[in-house]
Structure 1
């Protein structure tokens, strides 16, 4: 047992700082306060001392805390599941963690370390596509130093769980497979006997049956997934690559088709209240409706009553049914430019639960009363029957308020729309006082032609109508969390942790390079970042600082334990407003039904023991959906730009790594890569603090956020990959020292040699 100290008074004994740090480093799976107390036999009042000591270690940046578990800053577990993703020219194979949070930066890559086999001993071997359980070890001499660390395989978890996905291109001798992953860009040969019925243009899953250090690997078709000649083929690639369920089982469809429209029994009749839906013009389901009116109460002058009604999905999707199990499996709807993969069948999502204009629909509504400063005075939940008075798009509603109503909006401008905008003006005062994180990161939207190809890419205008609905939904979500917490009812929170101390220190060092300071203070608030963003607004550094601040933030997720929502600066927050497309919201609806006695279709018994796993699953499903949506857009744009190889474009540096620069084009938002070996005659080294590549002799600097001009050199539509050549000169900087110059030169030569060998293997 590690050494303990005893304070001078009678306070119970507790471990030293060094002992705690050593224990957590050696036992990464046992990092909770309870684990530490048990390991050092800390009981009674000693737990108070231990809690204070852990808080000090966290404040000093020596420990990270995520929910209730402490760990070394940026530490990886000693044992983890990995996927074998690549093989180099020397035959070494590389692996990456199966699970990795995007906010932790690039996914680390490990090299598999060879183990000497003793007589009679079984040592697991793995190949491309295998999933393994592995132990992290130090990287021995002679291995690629670009790897994060070495791993030793403990056992195979799944042998080639899904094969390698690629596009089959037939020829007279057999075929070649063009992988769809940016990580696996080498083509593979498939002989005639190994085609398994696949045709030209098919999306196939293949197994590598023979790898080669020189030349292309040989593969066998495991199954045909789809054909790219069909419409919506690009999104189908992402669906299969990310294992997104997209076909409803027969029993789920049957259950949905049998569902009957809800009746007025057990509900308040709100059909006369003129609630309206405001959605994108192409929305097929409408799960929220809003209403605002001045509060007539004498004790609330200039206050407002805001009502938000949400589709009552819990009335149709009962716990434990096939419909419910499939919804949990999907976790959320997935939105592609050419299709939607819904969480619920169309009969439920687009019909019975959709708040259609002038049709009776069941809903769960919250009635909120705000004072003249936008502070919520009270709220109440109601299970109702409603009838939407109008279906509006954001653009229609905004145009009407701006003095350009159409035939639908003209009759309701005064009675419905103006009270909504007046209420929003009041709520916006409280929002500005609260100071949520205000990043300026424009979104791109890909518009398609009827044949599924790209028509154009736009950045939609951000209207007041968007902000209005967003703020009303936030307030409804807060009300749901407050009610359930007050009633001590289990729920899934939407949580967003504050940035880790490690990321804050990196941001602090970066800002110092721009002569800006990030104060060290205990009570971190989003407004600290907002003041930084305001300072650089309308300056050449604005885009750069917005990007770096965004990367310093944690990723929001779901959890049954509440740590608040840092980005929104809210202590209690739960998703309530989109149960048609998010399973988390359905859980909150059921919890409200149970807590408020609104019916018999609330939470099932024993749900408390399952919420942590459910939260983990739906958080993973959300990340899966985001990845699939992003990959599809990348492939569509790469396909669109494939006939413009050689053209020049304006863009910005959107990412800097040891291997090169990621470029984001201004016109389309497309992302591509510039290998470091193509930057020029100088040797470039990576400066992590400044997010830069710096020339070792000249000091020429390429930094995150820099405006650049590039030439498109190569487009790989199926992988969604673009390769650029940079035409702009870098900024002026200070040359590196002799040691950094030598390291940069060696790294460049290693990459050039690797690039040459890859070209030889591909037959180019």
Structure 2
């Protein structure tokens, strides 16, 4: 063998040996619209692995994959890898819009490539939303994705079709049939010993458009001077929904009620919900937690839980209570003197409870606002948009529910009853450091050590109350992990609680219903479900909750695009929108359109000058002059174009 051939063979052998020693990990793939992605290791043995576009190898967002690490330390940002095998597909179905005779553009922007359609289109035409079944075998492949049409939802860009497409994409269950509602209405509740609380001053406080009423509040004198009795009464859903019954299985499929604008998909049939809701002027079965509270400072002295019968005297809404807080003379005429007196007492004691909780638990006081689209469920017509901000009336109810949830969690632990707990882990120190770096570079604000809870609370209290605040809050929240459900009790970081469960919304949340049933079994000396069963339910509920949230945000944002289209792009009078720059790249600006609560993209070509992007400072700066675009800057924008399939808006600056 010649020397040159020998050297080549040696190099090939060395390369093969290196390949044989490359580390592999298993994990979940998260795709990015830019074509690349990251794999989070199952065993958390290293940082997320960066997957360049050429090494994605057909993996889809959410797939379980096997990855070969090809670079252990990518400029200290973490390892780089290539996907070797798709071990399990996250999904078998995809929803999208037909863009040509045989091509589908997925609704989900995580899909980098379009899908080739095979077989009958079932009458679907170009521009229609359809649900397709993926035809690949779930393993590594090199050809384009293929799919066959399963369902047709109608034309993309029509509100009803768009909502059905969103519900399909996020695997929301369809509404109950009329036959289901009729069957559910005939269910008779189980009997259990109940205390008669019908003489208590008891009210519900809900949004004016509430779909169900699963909680009520009572207030009255305590047994001793200087004490009050605060009651939190929850619809006793466990009396109607037995474990393993048809509607228990249906509720578990859903795990939550879905409140999309213009589409309500309840966890339980509407006729059953109407029957078990705590409506005014009738007796209702409830599951009650009664607190003895020191009137001077709001300290909870003791609590007791039991099954009851209550009678809601008044149905109040948040607007009425908020107005009463500002001006007691604004009370509706039907509110008698004792109603106003008791409501004032309730307001006073919950204020003291909140103040005390702030001092003892150091919860994160994060002020957020949400702009939601108002869409008529029957006509599917958009009637406007509204900004939803948490007000003191909301906090009143929240304080009562937090107390009940905490008391129930404490009882589950003390009595060793297997349950489902609501947990929120501490943030990752690295993510907090990244946020602190972002704050200093973008806003010249030093955060201090955010892993110190007191410092973190102080930082949130002192946020600038101007156009920068929504951008800061949004980035802070993205730095935190998601709250979830677990069978083991653990810290709820956001609330500052070490024992917490969900108990107060069993009509619309399955974890609450499960907790109710475990307590019912304990109260009646029946067999409890095991911790293993709780773990399986908690895991499924966490997955479903995330999908539910994503579906809501997707639907709400899409209907905002419809709202923009209603305002029009053409015409002499061009609407001007206020934006705050939230992200800067060489391609352009991502702006928070503050009046609409959506993000709009401004391509760099519309910035009308030669710009240089500085990655470190995250700025676009003109090569001549002093013009620069950076995070937190205010900018006036006009709508340029809309993408009704992906639900995106492109804007241009107003000069």
Q: Corresponding residue for 1:681?
A: 610
Matched, 1:245 2:173: yes
CA–CA distance in 2 between the matches of 1:321 and 1:442?
A: 39
* Residue of structure 2 aligned with 1:416, choices 342, 355, 359: 342
Deviation at 1:447, TM superposition (A): 1.2
Residues 221-620 of structure 1 mapped to structure 2, 5 A cutoff:
221-228=148-155, 232-248=160-176, 256-261=184-189, 265-298=192-225, 301=226, 303-351=227-275, 353-371=276-294, 372-401=296-325, 402=327, 403-410=329-336, 412-434=338-360, 435-449=362-376, 451-460=379-388, 462-513=390-441, 514=443, 516-520=445-449, 524-525=452-453, 527-538=454-465, 541-595=468-522, 597=523, 599=524, 604-605=528-529, 607-620=530-543
Q: Corresponding residue for 1:757?
A: none
CA–CA distance in 1 between the matches of 2:279 and 2:245?
A: 26
Contact 1:132 1:153 in 2 (8 A): no
Q: Corresponding residue for 1:78?
A: 25
Shift in alpha-carbon separation, 1:380–1:665, aligned structure 2, 3 A: same
Q: Corresponding residue for 1:167?
A: 97
Deviation at 1:457, TM superposition (A): 1.2
SS at match of 1:277: strand
CA–CA distance in 2 between the matches of 1:453 and 1:107?
A: 45
Deviation at 1:696, TM superposition (A): 8.8
CA–CA distance in 2 between the matches of 1:337 and 1:223?
A: 25
Deviation at 1:268, TM superposition (A): 1.2
Deviation at 1:27, TM superposition (A): 13
Cα RMSD (Å): 3.9
CA–CA distance in 1 between the matches of 2:527 and 2:436?
A: 45
SS at match of 2:578: strand
Deviation at 1:379, TM superposition (A): 0.4
Q: Corresponding residue for 1:642?
A: 565
* Residue of structure 2 aligned with 1:719, choices 625, 630, 646: 646
Deviation at 1:157, TM superposition (A): 3.1
Deviation at 1:470, TM superposition (A): 0.9
Deviation at 1:580, TM superposition (A): 0.7
CA–CA distance in 1 between the matches of 2:643 and 2:49?
A: 22
CA–CA distance in 1 between the matches of 2:316 and 2:490?
A: 36
SS at match of 2:413: helix
Gap regions ≥5 residues in structure 2? 1-20, 137-143
SS at match of 1:326: helix
Deviation at 1:477, TM superposition (A): 0.9
The normalised TM-score by structure 2 is 0.81
1:705-747 deviation digits (Å, cap 9, x = unpaired): 321122322201232111223457xxxxxxxxxxxxxxxxxxx
Shift in alpha-carbon separation, 1:520–1:156, aligned structure 2, 3 A: closer
CA–CA distance in 2 between the matches of 1:381 and 1:398?
A: 29
Shift in alpha-carbon separation, 1:610–1:255, aligned structure 2, 3 A: farther
* Residue of structure 2 aligned with 1:661, choices 589, 601, 608: 589
1:687-709 deviation digits (Å, cap 9, x = unpaired): 3xx6x334495686533332112
> Number of residue pairs matched?
607
Deviation at 1:99, TM superposition (A): 11
The normalised TM-score by structure 1 is 0.71
Contact 2:40 2:48 in 1 (8 A): no
SS at match of 2:369: coil
1:357-410 deviation digits (Å, cap 9, x = unpaired): 122221110001122211211000011112211212112233345212224324
SS at match of 1:683: strand
Gap regions ≥5 residues in structure 1? 1-25, 29-76, 115-124, 141-145, 211-216, 729-764
Shift in alpha-carbon separation, 1:716–1:437, aligned structure 2, 3 A: same
Contact 2:578 2:595 in 1 (8 A): yes
Contact 1:311 1:580 in 2 (8 A): yes
Shift in alpha-carbon separation, 1:84–1:537, aligned structure 2, 3 A: closer
SS at match of 1:443: strand
